């Protein structure tokens, strides 16, 4: 943190689940049903990532997306704040022969990319870790890592229910999604997410993306608590 001001957010103090704990990392890899090799390969193809492309995966977790992008021919920078996550991801990549991945221990607010701007920056299931002011700082930083016309992809727990319906919407979400221990995220995991992490509304995220110079080309809300945004780095922000 030497080159950052004293008021800068300390992202090493992670909100929510402790992803430095190796047991949590292994449990996470088993539970993360939205991030199977098949689903991530489908996303890689949907985004058009292929040979010769450069990709940055911010908060790469156990590396499933980074591995699939690499297996499709891209050169990938996988960034995560957790050393345990990175060690796990590195070993997974070795096992499947995904060699074109550079792993970096850093965060949304501290990762310094080299001078080679990327074709794609993606971040999934992680931006909610930051409070809103720091989310937009992260988005500005990620936009700056992209080539002109480069693609930014965000998927996260983002709310699209009417604000006045927060209570029933959150309760319905937990009831619909929670699983018994060992089968997935539990009631307690969801409760902690809402209580301690910083998921926010889609209209706030949309405003942040636009102000970060990312033009939204596709917005999807598969459920009232999940959203994905596909963006292009605006020419006017270059």
Ligand X SMILES: C[S@@+](CC[C@H](N)C(=O)[O-])C[C@H]1O[C@@H](n2cnc3c(N)ncnc32)[C@H](O)[C@@H]1O
| Interacting residues with ligand X (CB under 6 A) | 11, 14, 19, 32, 35, 58-61, 80-82, 85, 107-108, 124-126, 129
> What is the closest distance, in whole angstroms, from the C-beta atom of residue 176 to ligand X in the complex?
19
- Measured in degrees and rounded to the nearest 5, phi and psi for residue 74 equal -80, 160
Q: Between 83-96 and 22-31, two packed helices, what is the crossing angle to 10 degrees?
A: 50
Judged by beta carbon, residue 53 or residue 193, the one nearer ligand X is: 193
CB of 134 to ligand X, least distance (A): 8
Pairing of strands 226-233, 101-105: unpaired
Token pair in block for residue 132: 């809103």
**Is 216:210 a contact under the CB 8 Å cutoff?**
yes
Give the nearer residue to ligand X in terms of CB position, either 40 or 119. Answer: 40
Query: Please, which residue, 18 or 175, has the CB nearer to ligand X?
Result: 18
CB of 40 to ligand X, least distance (A): 8
Give the Å distances, CA to CA, from 83 to 24, 175, 187. Answer: 13, 33, 27
Shortest Å distance, C-beta 51 to ligand X: 23
CB neighbours of residue 61 within 10 Å: 24
**Which residue's C-beta sits nearest to ligand X?**
61
Residue number, 228 or 234, with CB nearest to ligand X? 228
């Amino acid at each position: 943190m030497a080159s950052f001001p004293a008021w800068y957010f300390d992202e090493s103090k992670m909100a929510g689940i402790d992803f430095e704990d190796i047991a949590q990392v292994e449990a996470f890899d088993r539970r993360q049903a939205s991030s199977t090799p098949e689903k991530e390969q489908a996303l890689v193809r949907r985004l058009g990532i292929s040979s010769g492309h450069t990709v940055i995966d911010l908060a790469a977790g156990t590396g499933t997306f980074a591995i699939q992008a690499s297996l499709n021919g891209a050169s990938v920078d996988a960034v995560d704040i957790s050393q345990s996550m990175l060690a796990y991801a590195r070993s997974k990549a070795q096992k499947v022969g995904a060699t074109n991945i550079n792993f970096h221990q850093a965060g949304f607010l501290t990762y310094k990319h080299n001078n080679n701007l990327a074709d794609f920056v993606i971040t999934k299931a992680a931006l909610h870790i930051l409070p809103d002011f720091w989310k937009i700082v992260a988005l500005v930083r990620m936009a700056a890592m992209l080539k002109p016309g480069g693609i930014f992809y965000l998927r996260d727990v983002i709310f699209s229910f009417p604000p006045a319906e927060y209570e029933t919407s959150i309760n319905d979400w937990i009831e619909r999604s929670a699983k018994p221990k060992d089968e997935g995220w539990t009631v307690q995991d969801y409760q902690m997410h809402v209580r301690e992490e910083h998921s926010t509304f889609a209209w706030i995220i949309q405003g942040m993306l636009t102000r970060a110079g990312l033009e939204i080309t596709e917005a999807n809300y598969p459920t009232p608590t999940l959203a994905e945004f596909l963006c292009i780095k605006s020419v006017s922000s270059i």
